[in-house]
Structure 1
Amino acid sequence: MDDKLLHRIDRLESLDEIRQLVAKYSLSLDMRDLDAHVNLFAPDIRVSRELSGRENLKAWVDDTLRNQFTGTSHHVGNHIIEFDDPDHAVGVLYSKNEHECGPEWVIMQMLYWDDYERIDGRWYFRRRLPCYWYATDLNKPPLGELKMRWPGREPYHGAFHDLFPSWKEFWANKPEGTPEVAAPAPVEQFLKTMRRGTPAPKIRVR
């Protein structure tokens, strides 16, 4: 079997494992199996400026789930995965989520910007950057600005569009006549092309 075919098989297997990884994230989180959940991340996963490792991640997730949500359900959708090399990849994943928050039922639309790494033959999350469009009570459409509306908190911006400059460019520049069309993005650089070298947004912790 030649090297090119082996590379293609490895890529297909990696794509499937990464897609399984994000599905396992949702199930383990919603079923509160925190050991299964944190084992989806690299062993030295960074949790904060001072803390790293799965033990610290488990403590943070436990505190978040126990104090904010009675129950949750995460529904993953669109998933784009691109490889930097055979053992490192990035991805964008849509997620539609539901949260029981005491007397309110909060629905959310968001996306994750993911970094994946293969360590000792298995794929893990190296980082997940959550970018939120809205969170609001089921009976209160999130119209207008500051669409992140959690019970007992002031509304805030969720950074859903901040990864991609095209959002602001679209609204700032209405073309006159027939618009030009840029060249297609190179293979494995669709996301990088859309990002246009912009820094990752700072996300407010909910």
Structure 2
Amino acid sequence: MAKSSFVSLILSILYIASTATSASTASSSVGAANFIKASCTATTYPALCVQSLSLYATSINQSPRQLIQTALAVSLDKAQSTKSFVYKLTRFKGVKPREKAAIKDCFEEIDDTVDRLAKSVKELKSMGSSKGQDFQWHISNVQTWISAGLTDENTCVDGFAGKALDGRIKNSIKARFVHVERVTSNALALINKFGSKS
């Protein structure tokens, strides 16, 4: 009898502990989601910002530093998948010479973007707990590289200007580059906000 009372007591304690843990996890998730929404109001594309970062709410929690690192990692991931897509297009046969030249230019631009975003991710990681001028130096590097990456993305889309290049290839490249440009622009806005507060 005493054994069954003891087991009941243990089970009750475990149940209460697990309920408290799941309640605190739920509360933490809600806090992280609200933090992401509030942070994304500083961006040009807030709905996209919330959508692309909400998947990582538990790792972001309510950390501004984790938020910018995640935003930049999302941007890098999108740029890398776009680079793979454009690389496949460079292998297409039967593409008009002007289209082929525009695709090749786009590949070079997205390759530069990937490189700059990768450097930015490393820079944020190496920033550690830097303060003052050292902190601003790291942030300035990241801002410069991301801005250059945004210019690369726009240059690709500009290369498809004119009706002669209208078609499925232009539309698919443009859609991907616009998406990369938007998540990158959002990342830059979050980094600018982070840099101005610290």
- Quick check: TM above 0.5? no
Q: Select the structure of larger CA radius of gyration.
A: 2
Tell me: higher relative CO, structure 1 or 2? Use CA pairs within 8 A at least 6 residues apart: 2
Richer in helix (by share): 2
TM-score when scaled to structure 1? 0.28
Q: Which has the higher strand share?
A: 1
